[in-house]
Structure 1
Amino acid sequence: MAKKQSTGTPATRVLETSGVRWSAHPYDHDPRAASYGLEAAEALGVTAEQVFKTLLADCDGALVVGVVPVDAQLDLKALAKAVGAKKAVMADPAQAERTTGYVVGGISPLGQKRALPTVVDASAEAWETVYVSGGRRGFDVGLGPADLVALTRATVAAIARR
């Protein structure tokens, strides 16, 4: 008998095999939305502080993933400090897509083509459930912040700036 293959994203495949509790949240994505993250929060009916975006930065020549609330900015100095780098700049979007295997606006911290150092903003720990991209625009997944940290082998640090 053939093994059933998942038709989901790399992120959902990671979640399906992990054994953690998670939930899928597809929604109708409007490509004209000014902010994909704020659009997701509204569509999911949760506060923007509970929905997290995945951003890539170049820290002293190495790509690093920063996961921050959608209503905040990534504090590049704080991210550099969290990974022991001197300087961080936002990664080129095309490089982010090539490295993660996802498109900008749908980059998930889970199931990336290459495991990258990841830092999750400390504010995630305040929530029972956080929402991150499920690997495509218009699709988020909900999971516990401790599970997100464990699955991404992340460091937790204050890397968001409002």
Structure 2
Amino acid sequence: MSKKDRKKQHGATPAVLALEKAGVDFTVRTFEHDPEVEDYGDEAAAALDVPARQICKTLLVELDGGPHDGRMGVTVVPVTMMLDLKAAASAFGAKKATMADPKAAERSTGYVVGGISPLGQKKRLATVLDAEAASEETLLVSGGRRGFDVQLTPAELVTVLDATVAPIGREDLYR
């Protein structure tokens, strides 16, 4: 699909523009988001008929100590896992990582919670992709709004984001 056709069909989000600028091969995947649903990952997996382990959530963390002290970092983990904050802190070279305030995450990224993309954020932040996610053939991450995902290879995601790959996810005991 050409750039012009994609803009007409889906609207150009900053995430899509960032991928196009980088010359990355990706596919836009959309579905009708139900405002009553709070588990965006499971909703996306069911609607797009893909294994939930290939759907990733973008979570921002506040970092304490290390090279990113006082800043936020971006983590990308499968929706089937929980973010391990100790492992995330280690991956960023920080002493401690805590979940970022949702409003602060929205201000920093320019996206709303549930639609935060690791791509095309207002402020470029250090990013870590979970090692299990990196082993998948393709991943889906938010394209910048709820019900709007982009599908690409983990290698392309790492390249575009200049991300680090590390084991930052752990089993989600509530699934």
Please report the TM-score for the alignment, with normalisation by the length of structure 2. Answer: 0.88
Displacement of 1:87 in angstroms is: 0.6
Taking the TM superposition and a 5 Å limit, the aligned residue runs for 1:6-155 are: 6=7, 7-60=11-64, 61-155=70-164
Q: Residues 39-66 of structure 1: CA distance to partner in whole angstroms, max 9, x if unpaired?
A: 1111110111111000000011210001
Partners of 2:45 and 2:12 in 1: CA distance? 21
Distance in 2 of aligned mates of 1:55 and 1:8: 22
Residue correspondences, number: 159
Report the secondary structure of 1:95's partner residue.
helix
Q: What's the CA shift for 1:34? A: 2.9
SS of corresponding position for 2:108: helix
Q: Deviations over 1:42-98 (max 9, x none)?
A: 111011111100000001121000100011111100000001111111000000000
- TM-score if structure 1 supplies the norm length? 0.95
Return the alpha-carbon distance in structure 2 between the equivalents of residues 31 and 122 of structure 1.
31
Q: Aligned letter for 1:109? A: P
Aligned partners of 1:76 and 1:127: how far apart in 2?
Answer: 22
Q: Using the TM superposition, give the Cα deviation of residue 32 of structure 1 relative to its aligned residue in structure 2, in angstroms.
A: 1.1
Identity %: 59
* Runs of 4+ with deviation above 4 angstroms: none
Q: 1: distance between equivalents of 2:32 and 2:129?
A: 26
The 3-state SS of whatever aligns with 2:156 is helix
Structure 1 stretch displaced more, 27-36 or 102-111: 27-36
One-letter code aligned to 2:113: V
SS of the equivalent of 2:74 reads: strand
Runs of 5+ unmatched residues, structure 2: 65-69
Task: Return the alpha-carbon distance in structure 2 between the equivalents of residues 119 and 113 of structure 1.
Answer: 17
